[in-house]
Amino acid sequence: MPKNIILIMTDQQRADSLGCTGNPVVNTPNIDALAACGAVFRQHFTPHQICSPSRSTLFSGLYARNHGLTRNGVALPGDLPLITHDLKEASYRTHGVGKFHFQPILAGLEHAMPDSNAFWKLPESDGWNGPFYGFDTVDILIGESVSATEGGHYAQWLNETAPDAAALYLPENALEPQAGDMDEVWKSAIPSELHYNTWITDRARDFVRDQDKEQPFFLFVSYPDPHHPFAPPAPWCDMYDPNDVPAPALRPDELSDMPSYILDGDREETGKSYVEFLRNPGPPREQGFMQTTQRFSETSLRQAIAHTYGMVSMIDNCIGRLMAQLETSGLAEDTLIIFTSDHGELLGDHGLIRKGPSPYRSLLHVPLIMAGPGIAPGERNTITSHLDLRATLQDYIGLRSQPTDGHSFQPLLSDRDAPARSELFAEYHPRTRMDTYNQTLMTGDWRITIYPENPEWGELFHLLNDPGEHINLFFEPKYSARKQNFIERMAREFPAAAQAGGPSLATY
């Protein structure tokens, strides 16, 4: 069994964005090398397609309705047991670097939350680096892209190292003029050596280098990319030709058969763009900023995809540097490496971009790679979930079992054919429009989504015939018996909980 654990998490990365998961264009040699010697979980999902709920579920092993962080803008309870607490009880040294998102970025000064920008204006932030949710120490980055320079350890470091560099993240200082139809796509002028991905990697390497080999450690390395805006620095912004990236998967007029809020929201949208929101938030907006791509040219959308691939390759390069440090420190043989993401990105599929209430596989399906002692190499094709990771680590390392909503898939680590879950539930708690609250049941063959607050909406996809989820069968009479069976199962096993969760403290 491993002595150490490194959990690497990206933000908003699709399962199909790696060479080892079948992407024909993106270059990810270091992650692919991990995959070659480890387990690649090809059917791994998150039960929540929004950042904070998904991250909190992975660490707690609980659905958002049970851990309380049901939507961005809510704080994870400080007394909730997490995998970090399990490991501390087993004498692990725990450290985290990068984006946590356990607390609202915009929480007010009165809350004194280190995961918020306001905290870093308080006297108590001076010299603070933990403890934090079971981490002994942390190096915190808050937000992504243009919002990553406001608070946290990275913002402090950047201001001390290069006082004027924060402005280089802004789109008006881009290396090239932006396209006029998509303000989230630009080539960032921040030098790679000052970029937050590099800073995260350097802090993680320093931690590995300085470890006492007698004490096991848990290291969380969390990159904010490839979350939108689509703005990598050079050379990563020029790594992929937009003409070479795969086109988004969509069927003509497919959204007309989907819940009406998808198109209605796009037609009614008159508020700020996401970049404007980051710089001056204002009133609450629905999480994810999902919208159709009808306002964007094919050139701009392809550039967004190419920049996403560039961000993925930059992270891959960073992971290679971290793995090299692990080898140099003589710790590689005793360390379990886990690579995953909190949720995915629509990236043009279905004629949509970013994320939102509808739980498409583009959002719920995320990468999971585990490599280390006792893990048999190869693909796993049974369903696994973020909900299961805490229980799995408890079993794998031999920790005292703690109750969770998940199921350990530890047998799959050594036996590729071991039995595992055959289905999963998912749930979305909205921030502004309560009728978009939804629940999902996914099996190997089907995905059904219901909207308890609006029975006129629903989604049903036959995944064997329609793996891309383009043909909504929810109101087709020939599937009414199957649909009703699924609905009754959800009512029994995962009843609606639209009002669950803690109080909203901020809009983000």
> What are 168-226's pLDDT values in tens digits?
999 999 999 998 889 899 999 999 999 999 999 999 999 999 998 889 999 999 999 99
DSSP 257-272: GS-THHHHHHHH--S-
Please state, in angstroms and rounded to a whole number, the distance separating the CA atoms of residues 346 and 358. Answer: 10
> What are 18-72's pLDDT values in tens digits?
999 999 999 999 999 999 999 999 999 999 999 999 999 999 999 999 999 999 9
> What are 333-353's pLDDT values in tens digits?
999 999 999 999 999 999 999
pLDDT score recorded for residue 213: 84
Burial class (CB in 10 A: 0-12, 13-18, 19+), 163: exposed
Q: Is pLDDT of 471 > 90?
A: yes
User: Which residue, chain included where needed, has tokens 């055959």?
Assistant: 422
Phi-psi region of 110 (alpha: psi -120 to 50; beta: other; left: phi over 0): alpha
The more confident residue out of 179 and 302 is: 302
Please state, in angstroms and rounded to a whole number, the distance separating the CA atoms of residues 45 and 41. Answer: 10
Triad 500, 424, 421: Cα angle to 5°: 140
Q: What is the mean pLDDT of the chain?
A: 95
Domains of the chain by start residue, with CATH: 4-423 (3.40.720.10)
pLDDT score recorded for residue 286: 83
Closest-CA residue to 76 (of 57, 93, 48, 95): 57
